[in-house]
Chains A and B, each alone.
Chain A
């Protein structure tokens, strides 16, 4: 694309060749790396769908795990258990996360305290999930002397908070000041301005942030290992060990039985599809009925 005229002196022609060669080399390398990256991805997805779909059946959604050696069985209790834990986590994590985001964006702008909190949120975001697991184990499980769904919920809630806080803050920062000033100018108190004007305007983005946090913790296994523990039977009590889909997948994946491997694949497919459906549904939901074009 950048050919120099042919009557250039010789060194320059060699130079041009070298530069163009380098250019082509990098182009090829870049395309190759993209293919190399996409290959395992496509492999994982295709293999997962192939393996998972071929082992899915109705029993998977209606039965609890069968004892070793018996065919059949499903993960109904794990699916429900995951739902319970995630509900608990969302109930605790989302309000705290959004409130912290509101503080950062609406009250603490430019203050040292807000910067420190923002930095801490980023740090918390990077804390490995297994560390979260053993902390909650030390705090709740050791005190109560038994594993519980509640402990699992708390562990996941803590993991949700920093993501939600940072997205809420970023989304609130995009709300134009004129809207806030209009509300304040009408005599609306600050708290109401924040809740009904800023938060509402930014709500599609905030809901997306919550969904991202939700999707991230929905597949988490490590924090549940020592908190929710898992359960082979139905359990709805928050005070008792409860089954969870990722935990069950892990247990089955490292087991030596083919039947259980089959169920692990089916469980993985269900887990991913459930995460995708949740995210898509809320995206669609969030795009409707909220102020459009305001932010």
Chain B
């Protein structure tokens, strides 16, 4: 292709026009000039397809609009939830979140039992999932024989691909009977004195919901933690080992300390998922607004009350109260995400530079 042609045919919008240099400079070297007379196929193809300032800027604009639509979606969710819950917002105000009453017949609503249920079940889930997830991540990165590593990672990631409703189905038919007949009585016998395992045990309740939540958030936390721990450079491990540390000391000082930022982030992500998890929890938590010490007692979370009662909500105030609960859930998850970010930011500032 002849280079002179290339510069003369350049579209007006393309950058880098060097009119004074191009013909003289680039035509000079007596390279193997192609014989064909017309423009090269590439050049022809490109100019046929059209280009120029207009196409470029409109393309950028379309991409920008799509990106801005993410803003729009979040804002839209926020405003539509506010506008649809106006009735209950004006009726109860801020007290909505501190009132215990939930009486659809009398039109008396408060979100406290659901906030309690959400926090308690998520806390239980984290309590069970975080140590286990850390153990799995340590096993996979530091201890696991190489041939076992891939299958175990694959299996844990498979857990993440199972839909929530299938977890719920399994929980209803397997976990609930186990809780009712084996684990529940055992816990009552051994730990009944703490007061956490009292009352009648039907198999459904806070503890069952916590267990199924823990199973569901485990793969997220453990796979993220594993990725983070794998990113710790081997020189760190070797350095600590060379000082005479045992393997655990190496893991603690060389690996965990370096990856604590990311681990906090992973736990927060798991928490976010646990707070909003709906289907599996709805199926096993018992769906009764209740605040109590006993983990056997049925409860209700913000998400599960919406799933359970939204379709049968009669009356505008009832519906509006449920939407306000949705609004609360929406805001809480945003706050958890923001806190996770801020924590990471705060810890990163004080921490020594980490080689990713």
| A residues in contact (CB < 8 Å) with B | 1-2, 4, 19-20, 22-23, 25-27, 29-34, 36-38, 40-45, 47-48, 95-96, 99-100, 102-104, 106-108, 114, 116-117, 119-124, 126-135, 137-139, 142, 158, 161-162, 165, 186-192, 194, 215, 218-222, 225-226, 246, 249-250, 253-254, 261, 264-265, 268, 271-272, 275-276, 279
Contacts and interface: CB of A to CB of B under 8 A. Distances in A.
Nearest to A135: B77
B169 A186 contact: no
Given A29-B135, A103-B63, A246-B165, A130 B77 contact: no
A162 B166 contact: no
Given A23-B247, A23-B248, A117-B70, A186 B166 contact: no
Nearest to A222: B278
A191 B55 contact: yes
B71 interface: yes
Nearest to B273: A126
Contacts of B11: 187, 189
A47 B279 contact: no
Interface stretch (B25-33, B88-96, B328-336): B328-336
Nearest to A107: B60
A142 B310 CA distance: 13
B337 interface: yes
A58 to B, nearest CB: 22
A29 B133 CA distance: 12
Given A34-B152, A107-B64, A162 B139 contact: no
Interface in B1-40: 6, 10-11, 13-14
B120 interface: no
A226 B66 contact: no
8 contacts: A99-B67, A116-B71, A119-B341, A130-B278, A138-B81, A139-B76, A189-B14, A253-B172
A271 B172 CA distance: 18
Contacts of B135: 29-30, 32-34, 37
A199 to B, nearest CB: 11
B249 interface: yes
B63 A107 contact: yes
B136 interface: yes
B22 to A, nearest CB: 12
Contact of B71 (A27, A120, A186): A120
B326 interface: yes
A23 B56 CA distance: 61
Contact of B73 (A32, A44, A130, A161): A161
A80 B286 CA distance: 32
Interface of B: 6, 10-11, 13-14, 42-43, 46, 49, 51-52, 55-56, 59-60, 62-64, 66-71, 73-74, 76-77, 80-81, 83-84, 131-136, 138-140, 142-143, 152, 155-156, 158-159, 161-170, 172-174, 215, 218, 222, 241, 244-249, 251, 269, 272-273, 275-279, 283, 303, 306-307, 310-311, 322-323, 326, 329-330, 333-334, 336-338, 341
A33 B276 contact: no
Given A30-B135, A272-B163, A192 B337 contact: no
Closest 10 CB pairs of A and B: A219-B163, A128-B276, A33-B135, A99-B66, A189-B51, A191-B59, A103-B67, A23-B246, A103-B63, A222-B278
Contacts of B172: 253-254
Contacts of B63: 99-100, 102-103, 106-107
A128 B166 contact: no
Contacts, number: 277
B155 A38 contact: yes
Q: Give the secondary structure class of B's interface.
A: helix
A140 B64 CA distance: 25
B158 A45 contact: yes
A238 to B, nearest CB: 21
B166 A34 contact: no
Contacts of A103: 60, 63-64, 66-67
A120 B56 contact: no
B165 A128 contact: no
A221 B163 contact: yes
A32 B131 CA distance: 11
Contacts of A119: 341
A279 B222 CA distance: 22
Contact of A131 (B77, B279, B341): B77
A272 B166 contact: yes
A44 B249 contact: no
A117 B338 CA distance: 14
A226 B310 contact: yes
A197 B189 CA distance: 66
B70 A219 contact: no
A18 B322 CA distance: 56
Contacts of A45: 158
B80 A139 contact: yes
Given A253-B172, A253-B283, A96 B66 contact: yes
Contact of A128 (B84, B142, B277, B338): B277
Contacts of A38: 152, 155-156
A265 B165 CA distance: 11
A127 B70 contact: no
Contacts of B215: 40-41
Contacts of A222: 164, 278-279, 303, 307
A120 B286 CA distance: 34
Nearest to A218: B163
A33 B67 contact: no
Contacts of A95: 66
Nearest to B63: A103
B283 A254 contact: yes
A51 B41 CA distance: 61
Contacts of B329: 128, 130-131
Given A126-B272, A138-B84, A221 B277 contact: no
